[in-house]
Structures are given as C-alpha cells and as structure tokens.
Structure 1
Amino acid sequence: MGLISLIWGILALLWMLLAFIPLLGWGNWFMIPFAVVGAIIAALGLIIAGPGGRSRAKAGLLLNLTAIVVGAARLLLGGGVL
C-alpha cells in the first residue's frame, strides 16, 4: 500500500504541475479528488504496515496532501471556486 500511495502521490504532483500551465487550471478539479484517494490509500498503508515499513506510506501521504493543498490554493487564487 505504501508503494502504491507513493506512486499515486508522484502522479498527483505531476498533474498539479501540469495544471499550473495557463488554460489548464481546470485540471485541479480532477487532480484534487485523485490526490484524496491517494491520501486514503496512504492512510490505509500506515494502518496496515508494521513500524518498519511506514516510510513509503508517510511519503505518499505527504505528497498527496501537498498536491491537495496547492491545488486548492490555486483554485482559490485563480477564481475557480466561487
């Protein structure tokens, strides 16, 4: 689960960077739910994994939460949320 969430977080961050391109900001509307699913997978990975195998799940959770926060801030600043 940790590896899946890590890959999911990397994809969410790449998608977030793509949404910074002008006229592609609408991609944040799809990226945020994508990253939420990745955060849920990471949280499950933290619960299931033993004490030694949590580093990937923590990294995946951090990446997904970063993508959610930056994407939401981009939507708020760009006027995507009315």
Structure 2
Amino acid sequence: MLNILSILVGLLVLVLTMIGFIPFLGWLNWLTIPLGIVGLALGALSSHNMGRNLNIVLIIVCGIRLFVGGGIF
C-alpha cells in the first residue's frame, strides 16, 4: 500500500517537474523536491523499491534543473 502511495506521489511530482522545465517556471522545482522527499519516505517504508527509486530519480532531476537554471529560472 505504501508503495502505491509512493508511486502516486512520484507521478504527481513527475507532472509538476515537466511543467517546471518550461522557461521561467523553474521555481516550481522548489515545490517538487519536498514532495519527492515525502514520496521517498513512503517508498522507504514499503517493502518494494519502485516508488522509492522513482522519487530518487525525480529529486535528482529537479536538483539538476535548479542547478542549471540558477535556482530560479
């Protein structure tokens, strides 16, 4: 059950991350990283790894996007 919740949070973060790739909407990644951490915590409590791994990848992608955009753009 926790893995399913983690995957659902990961899919929400994925949609918000895709929107955050639009120029001048990079600030949205500041919201998606904490949501990804919540999904990561749910996935860590689960016995399966898929939700946890999805959220780890999304957190890294959001972090790289923020680094490239200077934290704002």
> Who is 1:6 aligned against?
7
How many angstroms apart in 1 are the aligned matches of 2:64 and 2:43?
Answer: 22
> What's the offset of the Cα at 1:2?
1.0
Q: Distance in 1 between matches of 2:62 and 2:45?
A: 23
Query: What is the CA distance between 1:7 and its match in structure 2?
Result: 0.8
Partner of 1:43: 44
- After the TM superposition, list the runs of 4 or more consecutive aligned residues in structure 1 that deviate by more than 6 angstroms: none
Give the total of aligned pairs.
Answer: 71
**TM-score in terms of structure 2 length:** 0.90
Alignment partner, residue 35 of structure 2: 34
Q: CA RMSD in A?
A: 1.2
CA contact 1:38–1:64 (8 Å) conserved in 2 = yes
Identify the residue that residue 60 of structure 1 maps to in structure 2: 51
Tell me the residue number matched to 2:19: 18
Alpha-carbon shift at residue 27 of structure 1 (Å): 0.3
Question: Which amino acid in the other structure matches residue 71 of structure 1?
Answer: C
For structure 1, which runs of at least 5 residues remain unmatched after alignment?
47-53
> Once the 2 structures are TM-superposed, how far is the Cα of residue 23 of structure 1 from its aligned partner?
1.2
2:67 maps to 76
Q: Which amino acid aligns with 1:62?
A: N
Whole-angstrom CA distance in 1 between matches of 2:42 and 2:29:
20
Q: CA deviation at 1:79?
A: 0.6
1:49 match: none
Whose radius of gyration is greater, 1 or 2?
1
